[in-house]
Structure 1
């Protein structure tokens, strides 16, 4: 007898705990056998166990051509001589097979006296923190990545909407086509929706935002043509199922001007009449030409700056989430004690000095400073 109990979803958690001198590191993977370009979540906990000294930590994933990543969160607990930091990353493997994810970790050790001494200068002359930096060697975490079905272009759960604004035009008049792909997963921004052809020219501009990519397309041709089915091959790793996003084939009618009407049989002709020049179409053509040029330049500029911006935004969120002055102080010391020397001095004065100033004012000024 066959029992249908519904679909069960299992989350594979890989946990590795490493004990080092005075602290532990704990690694957790949401999945250790993903598909290529399937996102996995890595959580790293760094916990101080030796309370005899002040400890700070700098941690990050090593860069590699085998994967891309971005840090999506960092949480800290500011307990006296008991640092607890949680780093959360999203990782996309880019090839199949075994992939080693490497790490960089620096343990920084100091004392309360040295920490206080670093703030003993005046407001504009905060002393450098006297500390001992210890590079920590961490074993990589290995994931076994499964290959995608052949010809897969996008990975995740996506849907497609499109709009062909007109299919009857004059020769070389732009044919606007809007395409929107929405969903979660790995969607490359350099996806070429319409294949190249000698029958038409293609102009394309791409705009992306959270869970959505918009394609503004324009085709230009001198004669009628047919656009075959546009098929985007997708794969949903959670369902382990392939699917297709389709824009159905479409016939476009392009009117070619009558050459005989363009031949002038009169000497010294009058100025071109308004009927021979459709200024609205001319303006429309240059509009889509501008879109093409802008899209080309934008494509050249797209790189991993997006990940950098996410990391900068993540640091602003960490500042916003701090609840105590000591918590914010430790965050700034771990990030860059020179860059934030003014704010570190103000926080130190607020905690250990004359108590003048406002924690919220310092935090707000930091947020404004990071956004500039």
Structure 2
């Protein structure tokens, strides 16, 4: 009897003393602009303010996804108690796909624990066929933004940089170049750069993107590395990428000027190999070396090298790639792209099947 009375008093205490079921709430919504350009970031914020701590309410409000006319991404959400009152906020960044007026019309689902559910839990009733929550769909204020045309999918404010070696190499020695684009905008619209140069084998790494979403778009960097291998002089063509500058509100272009690369006569045998004891059969290693990079190119087309996040320190990035290489063929290609002359002996030993231990050769490379 005392146990039952205790449960009843506890239930009354919850309902009367805490006042859980007297909560009220109010939603508000705003967009940071009424006019925006195609693919420009639009910051949306929705706030639910309660009259008290409102422990019994939970909110379902996540609309981040692809829509027909725009893309919506989660920026952040929070829940705070301010002066004893609960405040929930939800922030998104939208990117328009079409040049027209866009409406952002969403609903929030307010889930409230029922009085009966609290009572059943406190008193300890079993086999109760009742809802745990009541649900109410709350339509949010419709936010409208007029979208203007840009005539290009890449929108933002960027700076481009090309890191290049001295434009002089020996025949079949890789010439390295790296293109870096930094700034704020929709980096996802950037496409990999492709080169088609007659008589030149082009090795291109997958583009590496490192960015963070903020109220005004994606802040970060896009990079792509290249290695060019040729027998004769060649020209790396000019790179032009069109984008719409939000700062200038007009179309602009990244431009990296064309570059002429001089190619000297090929390596001599004594430059390629450490001195080895002579035998009855001698292989022409200089010819083999000339063919090596082309063989590596063939293998590169068949080996899937995992995409990795770019690290600012190029040496650390190379070490990570060596450690993660899953085969001798993949490791051989990495060494050719990094420094063909430095790793030539290891590369040729791999190709000649003199090296068969992946872990062993990794240690050798990392301690060089």
Q: TM-score, normalised by structure 1?
A: 0.57
- Equivalent residue number for residue 260 of structure 2: 251
Deviation of 1:99 after TM superposition, in Å, equals 2.1
CA deviations 1:306-358 (Å, max 9, x no partner) are xxxxxxxxxxxxxxxxxxxxxxxxxxxxxxxxxxxxxxxxxxxxxxxxxxxxx
CA deviations 1:107-129 (Å, max 9, x no partner) are 101247735866999xxxxxx99
Q: What CA distance in whole angstroms lies between the structure 1 residues aligned with 2:239 and 2:295?
A: 24
Q: TM-score, normalised by structure 2?
A: 0.57
Q: Is the 8 A contact 1:167 1:252 kept in 2?
A: yes
Residue 34 of structure 1 aligns to a residue in which SS?
strand
Q: What CA distance in whole angstroms lies between the structure 2 residues aligned with 1:276 and 1:195?
A: 26
Deviation of 1:71 after TM superposition, in Å, equals 1.9
- Equivalent residue number for residue 57 of structure 1: 59
- Equivalent residue number for residue 281 of structure 2: 270
Residue 188 of structure 1 aligns to a residue in which SS?
helix
Aligned mate of 2:244, from 229, 232, 235: 235
Q: What CA distance in whole angstroms lies between the structure 2 residues aligned with 1:40 and 1:293?
A: 41
Deviation of 1:191 after TM superposition, in Å, equals 1.7
Work out whether 1:47 is the aligned partner of 2:22. no
Q: What CA distance in whole angstroms lies between the structure 1 residues aligned with 2:43 and 2:229?
A: 44
Q: What CA distance in whole angstroms lies between the structure 2 residues aligned with 1:143 and 1:159?
A: 28
Work out whether 1:114 is the aligned partner of 2:92. no
RMSD, aligned CA: 4.3
Work out whether 1:29 is the aligned partner of 2:48. no
Deviation of 1:94 after TM superposition, in Å, equals 2.4
Q: Is the 8 A contact 2:111 2:134 kept in 1?
A: yes
Q: What CA distance in whole angstroms lies between the structure 2 residues aligned with 1:79 and 1:131?
A: 25
Distance 1:217 1:243, change over 3 A: same
Residue 157 of structure 1 aligns to a residue in which SS?
strand
Aligned mate of 1:226, from 225, 231, 235: 235
Q: What CA distance in whole angstroms lies between the structure 2 residues aligned with 1:256 and 1:133?
A: 78
Of structures 1 and 2, the larger Rg is shown by 2
Q: Is the 8 A contact 1:218 1:288 kept in 2?
A: no
Where do 5+ consecutive residues of structure 1 fail to align?
1-20, 122-127, 259-268, 300-372
- Equivalent residue number for residue 164 of structure 1: 164
Residue 209 of structure 1 aligns to a residue in which SS?
strand
- Equivalent residue number for residue 100 of structure 1: 103
Count of aligned pairs? 261
Q: Is the 8 A contact 2:173 2:229 kept in 1?
A: yes
Deviation of 1:165 after TM superposition, in Å, equals 2.0
Q: Is the 8 A contact 1:53 1:111 kept in 2?
A: no
1:71-90 correspondence runs (5 A)? 71-78=74-81, 82-90=85-93
Distance 1:35 1:288, change over 3 A: farther
Residue 98 of structure 2 aligns to a residue in which SS?
coil
- Equivalent residue number for residue 155 of structure 1: 155
- Equivalent residue number for residue 263 of structure 1: none
Where do 5+ consecutive residues of structure 2 fail to align?
1-22, 125-129, 212-219, 268-279, 309-368
- Equivalent residue number for residue 174 of structure 1: 174
Distance 1:47 1:194, change over 3 A: same
Q: Is the 8 A contact 2:52 2:86 kept in 1?
A: no
Q: Is the 8 A contact 1:42 1:88 kept in 2?
A: yes
Residue 114 of structure 1 aligns to a residue in which SS?
helix
Q: What CA distance in whole angstroms lies between the structure 1 residues aligned with 2:122 and 2:297?
A: 58
Deviation of 1:235 after TM superposition, in Å, equals 2.3
Distance 1:174 1:277, change over 3 A: same
Q: Is the 8 A contact 1:153 1:233 kept in 2?
A: no
Q: What CA distance in whole angstroms lies between the structure 2 residues aligned with 1:290 and 1:57?
A: 50
- Equivalent residue number for residue 358 of structure 2: none
Q: What CA distance in whole angstroms lies between the structure 1 residues aligned with 2:123 and 2:199?
A: 74
Q: Is the 8 A contact 1:203 1:217 kept in 2?
A: yes
Residue 247 of structure 2 aligns to a residue in which SS?
coil
Q: What CA distance in whole angstroms lies between the structure 2 residues aligned with 1:207 and 1:24?
A: 44
Aligned mate of 1:215, from 202, 224, 228: 224
